[in-house]
Amino acid sequence: MAQKLKTIRHSLAHVMAHAVLNLYPKTKFGIGPTTEDGFYYDFDLPSSISDKDLPKIEKEMKKLIKKNLPFKKEFVSYQKAKEIFKDQLYKLELIEELKKNKEKISIYTLGDFVDLCRGPHIKSTKQLQNVGFKLVKVAGAYWKGSEENPMLTRIYGIAFENENKLKEYLTKLEEAKKRDHRILGSKLELFLFDEEIGAGLPVWLPKGAILRKIITDYLYQELNKAGYQWIVSPHIANIKLWQTSGHWDFYRENIYSPIEIENEKYLLKPMNCPFHVKVYNSKVRSYKELPLRYAEFGTVYRYEKSGVLHGLTRVRGFTQDDAHIICTKEQMEKEILNLVKLAIKVLKTFGFKDFEIYLATRPKKFIGTISNWQKATKALRQALDKMKLKYEIDKGGGAFYGPKIDIKIKDSLGRPWQCTTIQVDFNLPQRFKMEYVDKDGKKKEPIMIHRALLGSLERFIGVLLEHYAGALPLWLSPEQIWVIPVSEKYKKYAKEVAKILKDKGLRVKMKEEKETLSKKIREGEIQKIPYMIVVGEKERKRKTIRVRERKKGDTGEMDLNKFIEQIKLKIERKN
């Protein structure tokens, strides 16, 4: 965030505090920092307030801004500070901390409001006259975030350079709310969360399970074409495996407590990699077999604090479209190029066209030889260059065991989401003593590449839902067609139509409930069904159908075979 905007936001926090002081004179003041889109201030108010009081505070703020009040900074002694804030218990606490840390104490005066603050601030409230701001929420917050402290009242505001930018942001926020995958997920009956099952553990409902299957079937096809082999590994494994892989030592905070079975410790798997290594190591490998590409829809479990869990995008158990490529040094370049190609193709098929790409290079602490790092980094860079993809170098941002490419997709609201990772690894081959017999008969260590294209199926589906606001493309829609008879009389014909469509491999639902036609159509619209077929007297007689297309409405009478031909083509084209 630009410093200027940050300064404006923080200055608004002071203005808000002044407004609160005017309206609720006995208020005790906490702190008022900036946030990602604005600011907040924590108050200990003499009486409780709610969102309804926000317009009043806003109005008071605008009055203060009009007065062109200057922000005056002053350094004061510890004694003076204590005197100024003698009635402000929270400020006194902060003053003690400043003293303890031997920091200079500075205060800012704005009209009648004096605050303990480091700054910086704008010169005067004149600079706020064209700023677009809005108070959005009242919430409770413990002083210093600790439950042992008193609960204060936090007022959140958002602010942007001008009114237009604020409006734009509010529209986007409104749009994002409508697209919230957690709401869509239950409305479209795709997945559920249940307290008794546990936080961060989604259950896929029939329609959601089909969606997963459509996605994984598509990936199966693509990966088969790309020469992958499939693996299925267990969900728990002996702790020894994770000790060898290093996960127990370096990744422990993400792993759940061991499970004891017959005096041996087992861990829920946080990764699939060691299993794939074991498959590789199960035989003596020759250079002739390489590259080997092992893929798995591997479900992993990682510890996340309950506070950070969020719908499908932050969960405790999720399925990666994981794969490991084991190849020679010489093959690495081509393999990586093919991986980038495949990733972009797959992401584009799902409708994503904007990417943010990062190439993360060698950090200070690393393993492996510099020459291998250089070779791998060059291979990653060349792949991106050859594909003419724009990317940023994340200098030193690689893992200690190898460089990587991260691809984030941008959704229809321009929000980036981490998806593809292509990661070279010099660590696991060493730890597991992976080798192959080369042409010269000598044993050599192969290169291992970890990669996930979508990342996690859960998060990817969450992003898909928000990207399309729930109106998934035809090929991904769990229910593609609803067949609706206009009345009981035409049920038989409707069933015939539905059967023909089903036999053609389409996902069809008969809507034969005793409800009005308009109610069913409205429900289909809410459920974002791509096509609704309505049949009545005319259609039955002429052996035709009447088609309603999502977003377009009634598109008229149609020959059934022609309809099938058209939508089959659409599905084939992944529309």
Cα→Cα distances 446→130, 326, 332, Å: 61, 6, 10
> Catalytic residue at 181?
no
| Site residues for Zn ion per CB under 5 A | 117, 273, 450
Catalytic residue among 154, 316, 404, 511: 404
CA dihedral 393, 395, 397, 402 (to 10 degrees): 90
**Closer to Zn ion at the Cβ: 412 or 430?**
430
Q: List the structure tokens of 163.
A: 């009114």
Q: Running DSSP on this structure, what letter comes out for residue 37?
A: S
Name the 3-class secondary structure at 47.
Answer: coil
Q: Which of 44, 53, 321, 322 is catalytic?
A: 322
Q: Which residue, 273 or 380, is less far from Zn ion as judged by CB? A: 273
- Least separation in angstroms between CB 76 and Zn ion: 15
Could you confirm whether 273 is annotated as catalytic?
Answer: yes
> In this structure, what are the phi and psi dihedrals at residue 166, rounded to the nearest 5 degrees?
-65, -45
Nearer to Zn ion, 450 or 520 (CB): 450
Catalytic residue among 14, 117, 320, 425: 320
The answer to whether residues 346 and 477 touch, using CB atoms and an 8 Å cutoff, is no
Q: How far is the CB of 333 from Zn ion (least distance, A)?
A: 20
> Residue 260 corresponds to which tokens in the numbers above?
């004891």
CA distances from residue 404 to 276, 479, 527 in whole angstroms, order as listed: 19, 38, 40
In the set 247, 324, 375, 451, the catalytic residue is 324
Q: Which of 14, 285, 293, 302 is catalytic?
A: 302
Pick between residue 424 and residue 464 the one whose CB is nearest to Zn ion: 424
Task: Give the shortest CB-330-to-Zn ion separation in angstroms.
Answer: 22
Q: How far is the CB of 65 from Zn ion (least distance, A)?
A: 16
Strands (E), 94-239: 105-110, 113-116, 132-142, 151-160, 191-192, 203-204, 229-230, 236-238
Active site residue 14: no
Q: How far is the CB of 101 from Zn ion (least distance, A)?
A: 18
**Is 324 among the residues known to form the active site?**
yes
Q: Two tokens at 288?
A: 């002739």
| Shortest distance (Å) from residue 104 CB to Zn ion | 15
The two tokens of residue 275 are: 């299993």
Nearer to Zn ion, 178 or 252 (CB): 252
DSSP-derived letter for residue 52 is: G
CB of 116 to Zn ion, least distance (A): 8
Q: How far is CA 249 from CA 235, 241, 269, 397, in A?
A: 19, 12, 14, 21
- Beta carbon of residue 121, minimum distance to Zn ion (angstroms, whole number): 6
Active site residue 450: yes
| Nearest CB to Zn ion, comparing residues 302 and 540 | 302
Closer residue to Zn ion (CB): 154 or 179: 154
Tokens 């260059």, residue located: 385
For residue 302, indicate whether it is catalytic: yes
Q: Which of 53, 88, 179, 273 is catalytic?
A: 273
Question: Is 194 tagged catalytic?
Answer: no
Rank residues 117 and 223 by Cβ distance to Zn ion and give the closer one.
117
> What DSSP string runs through 371-414?
HHHHHHHHHHHHHHHHTT---EEETT-SBTTB-EEEEEEE-TT-
| DSSP conformation class of 263 | T
- What is the per-residue burial (b if ≥16 Cβ within 10 Å, else e) of 73-93? eeebeeeebbebbeebebbee
Give backbone dihedrals phi and psi of 59, rounded to 5 degrees, phi first. Answer: -60, -40
Active site residues: 273, 302, 320, 322, 324, 404, 450
